[in-house]
Amino acid sequence: MPYAWGGTLSVTMNRMPKFGRLGQNLYYGQGYSGHGVAMANMGGHLIAEAIKGQAEGFDCLANLKHRKFPGGRWLRWPGLVAGMLFYAALDRV
């Protein structure tokens, strides 16, 4: 294979990106779940529109409910590592 991705991913539990605001003037978009090339462009457009005062599309995505990672604070990292090792092994089979 001439090209491959080897970077980290931000995957949400429901595989939907998470958008929101921190304070009044700080916007974010994260958790593109492996679809960052297309979704980050869309997210950037929605954030730009929201900054201009047209926040309907941004607010639609920002209001989506996201599930929390099972295991809470203490099991989040070990569970994440176990999942990544498992799926990396499947990729090699």
Ramachandran sector of residue 62 (left: φ over 0; alpha: ψ -120 to 50; beta: rest) = alpha
In a domain, 71, yes or no: yes
C-beta separation of 11 from 31 below 8 A: yes
Give me the tens of pLDDT residue by residue for the chain, a chain 93 residues long: 677 766 677 778 778 889 999 988 899 998 888 777 788 899 999 999 999 999 999 999 999 988 877 778 888 888 888 988 998 899 888
Number of domains in the chain: 1
In a domain, 12, yes or no: no
In a domain, 10, yes or no: no
In a domain, 85, yes or no: yes
The boundaries of the domain holding residue 53 are 18-92
